[in-house]
Amino acid sequence: MKAKSLKPMRLEDILFSQGFGTRRVCAGLIQQAYVKVNGETVTDSGEFFEPEGLHFDVQGTDWPFQEHAYVLLNKPAGTECSQKPSTWPSIYSLLPAPLRQRPQKAAVQGVQAVGRLDQDTTGLLLLTDDGQFIHKMSSPKHHVPKVYEVTTKHPITAEMVDKLLAGVVLDDDPKPVKAAACEAVGELHLKLTLTEGKYHQVKRMLAAVGNRVEGLHRSQIGGLTIPADLAPGQWRWLTDVDLALLKP
């Protein structure tokens, strides 16, 4: 997302805001001629630039200035949505250092996952350093639909679909949890849409109707789907068009 109505900033501060290290490190990168702005090498860390729409290059890495970072990751299986994974590699290891180091007021630096996917769940995962965006996308009050492609152990029956649409009771919540949409697209393949996120929700909902999840892939959030050319483990910036598709 483009920065709007920002005042000119020193190049050192621009690099710092984008996660390229401490201000001292950023100043050193500039003074050692490792930074280009609009194709021109800049060695004065105090030189001012308009941040909106600015592209700069640090040691060969092209980087667009982003007031807030909004990215899409095609999460592969065998990764944890945690900064401190217990068993599997962290999804954050798939991201470049600047995204992991972006300064934040909170103790945790860098972009954060908008909700979590289990280590064996694949698909669309959003990450950002915008706390308001995380709240808006995660809150059940906003009813942002999330579509899951579910592979089941047992054949899917019409009765199971009806129960998922009517609502099932999970063991820790007496209030029934309903699917916003549910469709059997194959004998062992279910397309399930949810507007809230609870711990292991899809797996527990399928267990509640007498089935078991063998494979789980999130294919869509709001109107946003994973680009066909984005392989598992790859990420890209969200465009303004993408962000508009996420609005409920």
Positions marked active-site: 118
Identity of residue 28: G
165 alpha-carbon distance from chain centroid: 27
Query: Residue 70 pairs with which residues in a beta bridge?
Result: 128
Q: Specify whether the CB–CB gap between 41 and 34 falls below 8 A.
A: no
Q: End-to-end distance of the chain based on CA atoms, in angstroms?
A: 18
As a whole number of angstroms, the distance between CA 172 and CA 180 comes to 20
Q: What are phi and psi of 11, to 5 degrees?
A: -60, -40
CB burial of 178-209 (b: ≥16 within 10 Å; e: otherwise) equals bbeebebeeebebbbebbbbeeebbbbbbebb
